[in-house]
């Protein structure tokens, strides 16, 4: 491990701006978040960025590092440094507020757009819903529910870039988990929401979402499930009605 400084290019500005280079001392076990923090505390206090837990649980620190969307707190510099250079930019596909902070409203609005929220018809006066943990639906739902909405998959998806209305892997993954929630009562609306150009059928199985998800969730699988379900619902009808 060398003792030369890291040459770190950081995006400064908003939609228009430039990469500014900073020299950051190298340390062992240094993460990219450590680097960004060092720049902001010691070199340039005007740098804006987001983080919270800094231990790989919240997803707030997601940025584009050397062209790839990652959690900066979980990315060791030694893993991704190119010689002694690093490039840090905001997440792709989201508007830039300032420097490394993006506006995530469209990301979360698309969750709503995909009916990525739960609605049941039971109250506290009813008995507990009985969900069989080994049932196929519950296992399918479990595969996707660990998503914390970090935006890495959304930022990695070329279809999101090419089709501004595309709901994106995270929203569709969440919709799929809810499609498999037997307590939910909005299934037909959800199917309608994820059909169409902006929905699951626009996915080209590029697989970047599955490749980059820091929680090893596979949105490609969820979207494949939705594709089949929606196609069948459009042609034959589903157990909740016809599209």
Partner 1 sequence: MSSRPRIDYRAKSHLSYFAYACHRFSGLLLACFLPLHFLMLSQSLRGAAGFESALGLTDIWVFKFGEWALVILLAIHLAGGVRLLMIEFGPWRGLRKGWIQVSILFAIACGLLFLYFAN
Partner 2 sequence: MSAAVMQAKLWYAQRISAMILGICVAIHLVIIFYAIRGGLTAQEILGRTQGNLTFAFFYETFVLACFVHAPIGVANILQETLPKSGIAKPASWLLAISILTLGTTAVIGVYSGGAL
Q: Which of 195, 213, 217, 223 binds partner 2 (CB under 8 A)?
A: 195
**Residue matched to tokens 């459009």:** 234
Half-sphere exposure of 15 (CA within 13 A, CB side): 4
- The site string for partner 1 over 51-70 (x = CB under 8 A, - otherwise) reads -------------x-xxxx-
Residue 56 touches which of partner 2, partner 1, none (Cβ within 5-8 Å per kind): none
Rule CB under 8 A: is residue 204 a binding residue for partner 1? yes
Nearest of 135, 203, 132, 217 to residue 173 by alpha carbon: 217
Rule CB under 8 A: is residue 188 a binding residue for partner 2? no
Residue 179 touches which of partner 1, partner 2, none (Cβ within 5-8 Å per kind): none
Q: Which of 158, 165, 185, 241 binds partner 1 (CB under 8 A)?
A: 158
Q: Segment contacting partner 1 (CB under 8 A): 13-21, 123-131, 185-193, 232-240?
A: 13-21
Q: Segment contacting partner 1 (CB under 8 A): 34-42, 50-58, 85-93, 130-138?
A: 85-93
Rule CB under 8 A: is residue 197 a binding residue for partner 1? no
- C-beta separation of 143 from 221 below 8 A: yes
Rule CB under 8 A: is residue 159 a binding residue for partner 2? yes
- C-beta separation of 168 from 154 below 8 A: yes
Q: Segment contacting partner 2 (CB under 8 A): 44-52, 54-62, 172-180, 233-241?
A: 233-241
- C-beta separation of 87 from 19 below 8 A: yes
Residue 63's DSSP bridge partners are 70
Cβ-based nearer residue to partner 2, 20 or 231 = 231
3-state secondary structure 166-211: CCCHHHHHHHHHHHCCCCCCCHHHHHHHHCCCCCHHHCCCCCHHHH
Rule CB under 8 A: is residue 131 a binding residue for partner 2? no
Cβ-based nearer residue to partner 2, 49 or 154 = 154
Angle ∠(75,76,80) on CA atoms, nearest 5: 85
Phi, then psi, of 84 in degrees rounded to 5: -130, 25
**Residue matched to tokens 């990695």:** 156
CB-neighbour burial class of residue 233 (10 A; exposed 0-12, middle 13-18, buried 19+): buried
Rule CB under 8 A: is residue 17 a binding residue for partner 1? yes
* Interface positions with partner 1 (CB under 8 A): 11, 13-18, 64, 66-69, 89-90, 92-93, 96, 156, 158, 161, 204-208, 210-211, 218, 220-221, 224, 227-228
Q: Which residues bind partner 2 (CB under 8 A)?
A: 159, 162-163, 192, 195-197, 199, 201, 204, 227, 230-231, 233-235, 243
């Amino acid at each position: 491990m060398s003792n030369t400084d890291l040459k770190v290019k950081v995006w400064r500005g908003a939609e228009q701006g430039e990469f500014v280079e900073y020299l950051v001392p190298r340390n062992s076990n240094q993460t990219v978040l450590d680097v960004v923090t060092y720049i902001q505390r010691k070199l340039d206090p005007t740098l804006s960025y987001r983080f919270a837990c800094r231990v790989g649980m919240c997803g707030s620190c997601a940025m584009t590092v050397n062209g790839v969307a990652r959690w900066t707190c979980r990315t060791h510099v030694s893993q991704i440094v190119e010689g002694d250079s690093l490039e840090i930019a905001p997440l792709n596909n989201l508007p830039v507020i300032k420097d490394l902070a993006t506006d995530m409203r469209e990301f979360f609005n698309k969750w709503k757009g995909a009916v990525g929220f739960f609605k049941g018809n039971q109250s506290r006066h009813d008995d507990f819903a009985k969900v069989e943990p080994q049932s196929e639906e519950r296992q399918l739902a479990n595969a996707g529910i660990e998503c914390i909405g970090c935006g890495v998959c959304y930022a990695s998806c070329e279809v999101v870039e090419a089709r501004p209305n595309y709901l994106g892997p995270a929203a569709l993954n969440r919709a799929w988990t809810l499609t498999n929630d037997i307590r939910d009562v909005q299934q037909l609306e959800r199917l309608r929401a994820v059909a169409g150009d902006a929905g699951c059928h626009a996915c080209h199985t590029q697989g970047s979402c599955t490749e980059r998800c820091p929680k090893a969730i596979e949105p490609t699988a969820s979207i494949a499930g939705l594709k089949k379900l929606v196609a069948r619902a459009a042609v034959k009808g589903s157990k909740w009605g016809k599209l």
